[in-house]
Amino acid sequence: MGTPENDLQQLMLRLGERLPPTALRGRIGLEKETLRVRAAGSIAQTPHPAGLGSALTHPYITTDYSEALLELVTPPFDDVRETLGFLQDLQAFAAARVGDEILWATSMPCAVSGEDSIPVAQYGHSNAGRMKTVYRIGLGHRYGRLMQVIAGVHFNYSPQPALWPILADLRGETDDRDFRDRCMMGMIRNLLRFGWLVPYLFGASPAVCNTFLDGRGARLEDFDDDSSYLPLATSLRMGDIGYNNRKEADTGIKANYNSLAEYVDSLRCAITTESPEWARIGVKVNGEYRQLNANILQIENEYYSSVRPKQPLERFEKPTDALESRGIAYVELRSVDVNAQHPLGVDESQLRFLEAFCLTALLIPSAPLSESAMADIDANLLAVAHYGRKPGLMLRCERGPAALQDLGREILTLMRPVAAMLDQGLPGDPYRRSLSEQWGKVEQAALTPSARMLEDMMAREEGFYRYARRLSDQHREAFRSNCPLPREAELVELAQHSLTEQAAMEASDRYDFDSFLQRYFDGSLVGMSGARSFIR
């Protein structure tokens, strides 16, 4: 019986005999969040800038939880350089249209003056826009607003269509939707198993401003009078002061990743089962909505996971219905921190690695995940988030405890034949160079972004705010010096069109808001005119 590396190497050779390297490279998209911050350093209280268009209907520039939390969304491209180029244009376009405000360069937010200083995102007066805002109001009541303004990068990956028939043939299967969905769910399970490696290699949030903690984070240490940190942390964003599902787990929800049908069923149960805890908040109180409903999850996207199966939505379609009817189109990896050392928060080498990481996860075997395996996954992610650079850190795996370094070497060794195949026809071997760079981080934790961030803060005697502000200002000047942009005219036109589209939606609502919500949840709105990306 061959080793996993040899088995994967043989599979890559057989794929390479029948496919060009371009068919093995994935389609890559990014979603990057960044806070708008006032010149004085606090979260912006201004509305979403009109020059950026409508956050409800713009395909590429929207908002996440807060009116101040921009989300820049690229379409998928066949090469990560194109993806980064598009993100570069989006961020430069945004930077030029926020006045004297700054786009914050780190995952963890700036100085926060309590929950009320975080404005909830507004999407206009249409029913679709109101629903998005009420959903966010509900998140604030359930989990608090503070954790909702942590920024991240989502890495969206899908295999090339040409891969599927060849892979199915090599495995003696039929290339149909069931085969593809099984492969994609297998990839998700492997990304969950190995997911701790992402915050180890790319975590960039070991410190935080004390104003964000608001009495939480008892385990953190003082960095200076204004900042707290964990000396060996990689990603406080992925730790227990970040966004997580602990409250959801307490109410009985845990997604099942063993098949697409089980995943859909587990989320449907959560969006249709009332939570006594959330019911105490109230839904509509004195004529004002506090949340969309009192169910365990208001909608599917409330369930936080480091990896999600995704299918683009028809208008007013629920995510579970889209997955059930059309299957998985792509996978969203959500555990990537914004790295302030890079103007875009990510760089090409990182994206090359993540692409090879996803393809490896797709091609290797993937056993079902038991409850104990899911507990191991959660424990490993938390351990690496808090103590990932601790020498000799032990993680949990199916064969028993193992050292992070040893497991990291195993995963990177497994990826070698994948990186080699992806490099074919490319100058400079960018995938293998990235793999070598990550190998160095496994061998020397001091090379990780989290270690370098703390080293920089200590060398300059900067607390978190001054560190993040300095780099935010640097990036702002760099982006503003890059005008005009290749896509500027296109983005101006899109912004104007999105405002027109929002106005048309507001003028064409057929139902009062109560009726609209009822029809949304019973599925009778699907196909009606509405926001392009209604639930994001």
Tell me the C-alpha to C-alpha distance, in Å, between residue 391 and each of 16, 71, 232, 316, 447. Answer: 39, 36, 9, 49, 14
Q: What is the pLDDT of residues 225-256, one digit of tens each?
A: 999 999 999 999 999 887 654 555 555 678 99
Give every residue of the chain whose pLDDT is below 50, as ranges. Answer: 1, 245, 533
Residues 323, 309: contact at Cβ < 8 Å? Answer: yes
Q: What is the pLDDT of residues 352-402, one digit of tens each?
A: 999 999 999 999 999 999 999 999 999 999 999 999 999 999 999 989 999
Enumerate the β-bridge partners of residue 307: 333
Tell me the C-alpha to C-alpha distance, in Å, between residue 243 and each of 151, 227, 310. Answer: 10, 19, 20
Tell me the C-alpha to C-alpha distance, in Å, between residue 164 and each of 11, 158, 371, 529. Answer: 14, 11, 30, 33
pTM: 0.96
Domains, the chain: 4-522 (3.30.590.20)
What per-residue confidence (pLDDT) applies to 352?
99
Q: What is the H or E stretch that residue 34 is in? A: strand 27-37
What per-residue confidence (pLDDT) applies to 77?
99
